[in-house]
Amino acid sequence: MNTLKRFRSFFRVLTRRREFEEGMTEELRFHIEQYTDDLVRSGMSPEKAVRLARRELGSSINIKADCRQAFGVHLFDELRRQLSYAARLLRKSPGFTATALLTIAVCFGANLTIFAVIDSVLLRPLPFPEPGRLVTVFNTYPKAGVERDGSSLTNYYERRGHIPAFTSLAIYRYGTEIIGEPGSTERQQTMRVSPDFFSTLGLGPAIGRTFTDEETTSETDHVAILSDAFWRQRYNADPNLIGKRIRVNSVPRTVIGVLPPIFRFLSSDARVYLPLASRPEDRAPSRRHSGGNVIQMIARLQPDATLAQAQSEIDAQNAALEVDDPQAKMIADAGFRSVVISLHADHVAAIRPTLLLLQAGAMALLLIGAVNLINLLLVRASGRVKELAVRQALGASRGYVVSEVVVETTLLTLVGGLLGLAIGSGGIHLLRLLGADRLPLGSRIAFDARLASVALVAAIIMGIVFAVPIAGFNLRRHLGNALQSESRSGTSGRAAQILRHTFVVSQIALAFILLAGAGLLSLSLQRAMAVSPGFQSDHILTGQILLPWASYPDRTARLTFVESLTDKIGRMPGVLSAGAVNNVPFSGHSGKSAATVMGHVLRPGESPRGHYSYGVAGDYFRAMGFSLRAGRFLTAADSHRSERVCVVDEDFARYYWPNASALGQRLWEGSEAGKDAEAFTVVGVVGRTKQAGLTEEGAQGAVYYPYIFRTDDSFFVAVRTILPPESLELTLQNVVRKVDPDIPVSDLRPMETRIADSLVARRSPALLAGLFSGIALLLTAIGTYGVLSYAVAQRRREIGLRMALGAQPGHIRGQFLYLSLRLLAGGVLLGVIGAWLTGQAMRAVLFHVPAFHLAVLTGALCVMVLVSLAAGLLPSHRAARISPMDALAEE
């Protein structure tokens, strides 16, 4: 109960140590003076009185010591004494200290860096009340090749209030809109959300109100909620902004609320929140399976409800609803299910295995470093055996010996940990450069007090762990032996030697595993990079343009804008061809939708498939460098003819017409056959291209329609140029501004940059793993070198004697090289087993690389042999050059 208070008083004394001491002196002096006065008053002579007063009180030094002890201060004094002793010892051996500190700093820094990412991405809860109750629900049609299709508006309206396991349910979609008055518009990230979005999260506007159900139609949705950052930056934190109007896509909307500063939904950087408006027909049962991965659903579980409960309720409702769905058979064939999963876990699911692997790698590094350090410390301890024996003989208690070791190792790990903090903060910067802030929740990665305190605790724990073997070693010495033995060799125990060798073997094994893991990752990166995207990706500039429905309300107006823009771009100097599409490959968002092929009857067990579907305008295929397999590309004229035509890719053609030509075949957009006049005739077949990423597997097929049939909120321009693509960025923006000054271009990047960026989740881990294994090799080399050098130094006399008796230097050298090879063999043997296990664990992140890859292992083995030999050569060589005269004369 009083512990805290006592601790505080103790702490106060520590910080005001001088005051404590002065107070004590003054109090004792006062006592003596008072007593003297009293004695004088009773008739004693002053000199005699002072003497008596002093004598009766006793030695003030002893009293003070007792007082300090009574107050618990003596422990602190003891600690300080041991600290300064440890510091002095460490200063006396700068080589050891520097090696130890550097080892701790590097290993610690690597772990902190990765832990910072793990902490902010995986561990730290989402910034909402009771975040563990937040879940997401999405539709999946695995047999149709659509793993994830979001949720539909219909899902939302059918589920709302009907799933007892949820207290509330909401939907949202990400978007970008043009915000601001004409002339000063900017493109901003936005979110369209259902009215219950904020109440589901449990965090609503700091000022103002949330959306209402009445505001979910396109006639009534003229309201907006701003993020705190946007409110501050753009509106100067105007407290009277509520009720005022801002323009979103040139439509005025009333600001009804401002969110609190901490509000941040997952990784979204949305500045403006708008109601997710829809028409009654969008909510009809026929639209139930038209999610298209655009709209996402979140829900909050009842306090006592489980995921499984929510899942079974959703399943039951789905089953009940599908009973009178005309497409029920097709949907069931597609393997339809709605998955309920934790919001946080789902958001970080893709990156989780990579992060955990990297943390495991960093831990392995720390282990190698720790082993090195313990070895070094043990060597040092054996050098101090005699000193310790003398001190123990003179009465140093076991507790004292142990605490001295703990203080020394903890001092090392604390200072090393501080340096590690610096390296860690540098490491976090490095990760930023590698694109860590693009990870899910990556913008939360920061070097903060939480991380620093974790580091502090870890450093102290590490110090104590290091102390255990050293203290054990120090205490186990037999006093008599140590005092009698004349040479250092007399102090070497067989057990200590085995321990040191085991350490080196485990070090080699760990380094081997790291090396093999890094090899697998980089091989997998290499294989991913070698995949062809399916088009000529060089010399293409791409950018996204958001076209507001308010200014371009119908499809013709939108087509006119797109065509006049691609036309103007196509005539820019240096441009070979220019085109537009809903979504370029590698844009980071790609959705699939259904197409119905005329005459295609689903075979038993076959499910309908989702295909990538695009509207294209201008000279898109030439601009992207697609290859034409048959027929022709779409042209600008196809958007204006009454005859409907389309182009499919070879995957699509092969799937539906394996034995016939695709040309002239007909299909409908969507999952249902329509009127004959609405069917599209295939006029061309193009090569398959990678859409979502180079490592994308499966041949989903793609359909390209003339742009007029698939206009969207936004489109991408693709420009093929003979110039470096970056050099066109400014001119492209100017051309867009000339067509419509209120429309900005965003996400302007050369195609090759997009492809490179899409590999960031492979490149960065491979780089980090490579870095880790490099450090691991260095540490292992130091470890092997250290142990062999020590062995040589210890057996100096024996070697000298043997050489005096005729042993050849080559023989001696061979003996130590043989030792290092034995250690290597043991380490590699364990390492191969470990590498196999690691490979199994890494399967999820490997691309076209088997978990057990012989060439990688052989490579790792060669590197290990080289490193071990290099580390073993120098000490062996030194052993061979020992002069028998000198070695024996040292006695």
Partner 1 sequence: MGKNAELLPGTLDMLILKAVSLKPLHGYGILLRIRQISGDALEIPQGSLYPALYRLEHHDLIAAEWGQSENNRRAKYYTLTAAGRRRLRDETAGWNRLASAIAAALSTTSEEV
Per CB under 8 A, residues contacting partner 1 are: 2, 5-6, 9-10, 23-24, 26-28, 30-31, 33-35, 37, 56-59, 62-63, 66-72
CB of 12 to partner 1, least distance (A): 11
73 vs 389 by CB, closer to partner 1? 73
For every residue of 137-192, DSSP letters joined together read EEEEBGGGTBS-----HHHHHHHTTT-TTEEEEEEEEEEEEEESSTTS-EEEEEEE
Write down the least CB distance from residue 58 to partner 1, Å.
3
The token pair that represents 845 in the structure block: 């992140």
Full 3-state SS string of 309-345: HHHHHHHHHHHHHHCCCCCHHHHHHCCCEEEEEEHHH
Close Cβ partners of 665 (under 8 Å, ≥ 6 residues apart): 597, 598, 656, 657, 681, 682
The one-letter code for the residue type at 867 is V
- Minimum CB separation of residue 16 from partner 1 in Å reads 13
Phi-psi region of 537 (alpha: psi -120 to 50; beta: other; left: phi over 0): alpha
Token output for 277: 């408006």
d(CA 269, CA 267): 6
List C-alpha distances in Å: 218 to 131, 215, 307, 494.
32, 8, 34, 84
Beta-bridged to residue 339, according to DSSP, are 138
Residue 41 beta carbon to partner 1: minimum distance, rounded to whole angstroms: 12
Residue whose pair of structure tokens reads 């690389």 in the numeric block: 849
Listed in sequence order, the DSSP H helices in 338-448 are 343-348, 352-383, 385-393, 398-433
In angstroms, give the least distance from the CB of 46 to partner 1.
Answer: 16
The letter for the amino acid at 345 is A
CB closer to partner 1 out of 65 and 499: 65
Minimum Å distance from CB 830 to partner 1? 54
The three-state secondary structure class of 91 is: helix
Least gap, CB of 14 to partner 1 (angstroms)? 13
Residue 53 CB, nearest approach to partner 1 (Å): 9
Between 28 and 873, CB nearer to partner 1: 28
Q: Which is nearer to partner 1, 5 or 91 (CB)?
A: 5
CA angle 236, 239, 244 (to 5 degrees): 90
Give least dist CB 86 to partner 1, A. Answer: 28
Nearer to partner 1, 63 or 801 (CB): 63
Tokens found for residue 832: 């191969």
Shortest Cβ 481–partner 1 spacing (Å): 42
Smaller CB separation from partner 1, 59 or 564: 59
CB of 55 to partner 1, least distance (A): 9
Closer residue to partner 1 (CB): 24 or 468: 24
Q: Least distance to partner 1 from the beta carbon of 36, Å?
A: 11
Q: To the nearest 10°, the Cα dihedral for 819, 820, 822, 827?
A: 150
Cα–Cα distance, 887 to 890 (Å, whole number): 6
368-407 in b/e form (b: 16+ CB < 10 A) is: bbbbbbbbbbbbebbeebbebbeebeeeeeeeebbbbbbb
Among residues 32 and 630, whose Cβ is nearest to partner 1?
Answer: 32
Nearest CA to 492 out of 237, 782, 793, 204 is that of 793
The smaller minimum CB distance to partner 1, of residues 75 and 866, is found at: 75
Q: Which two tokens stand for residue 700?
A: 């989903």
Comparing CB distances to partner 1, the nearer of 73 and 112 is 73
Closer to partner 1 by Cβ: residue 68 or 187: 68
**Min CB(406)–partner 1 separation in Å:** 25
Give 62 or 642: the residue with its C-beta nearer to partner 1. 62
CB-CB contact of 401 with 474 (8 Å): yes
What is the SS3 assignment for 136? strand
* Three-class DSSP labels, 185-226: CEEEEEEEECCCHHHHHCCCCCEECCCCHHHCCCCCCCEEEE
- Looking at the Cβ atoms of 27 and 726, the one nearer to partner 1 is 27
Tell me the closest approach of the beta carbon of residue 45 to partner 1, in angstroms. Answer: 20
Q: How far, in Å, CA of 351 to CA of 118, rounded?
A: 10
258: β partners: 207, 226
Q: Which is nearer to partner 1, 32 or 367 (CB)?
A: 32
Q: How far is the CB of 395 from partner 1 (least distance, A)?
A: 24
Shorter beta-carbon distance to partner 1: residue 10 or 852: 10
Interatomic CA distance for residues 155 and 174, integer angstroms? 18
> Buried (b) or exposed (e) across 861-883, using 16+ Cβ within 10 A?
bebbeebbeebbbebbebbbebe
| CB of 21 vs partner 1, minimal distance in Å | 12
- 603 secondary structure, DSSP code: P
- Name every residue whose Cβ is closer than 8 Å to that of residue 458 and which is 6 or more positions away in sequence: 108, 111, 417
**Minimum separation from the CB atom of position 76 to partner 1 (A):** 13
Residue 23 CB, shortest distance to partner 1, in Å, is 7
Specify the residue, 53 or 777, whose C-beta has the smaller distance to partner 1: 53
Cβ closer to partner 1: 17 or 160? 17
CA distance 470 to 493: 14
Q: How far is the C-alpha of 726 from the C-alpha of 538, rounded, in Å?
A: 11
- Taking the least distance from each CB to partner 1, the nearer of 28 and 692 is 28
Please give the Cα distance from 489 to 795 (Å, whole number): 7
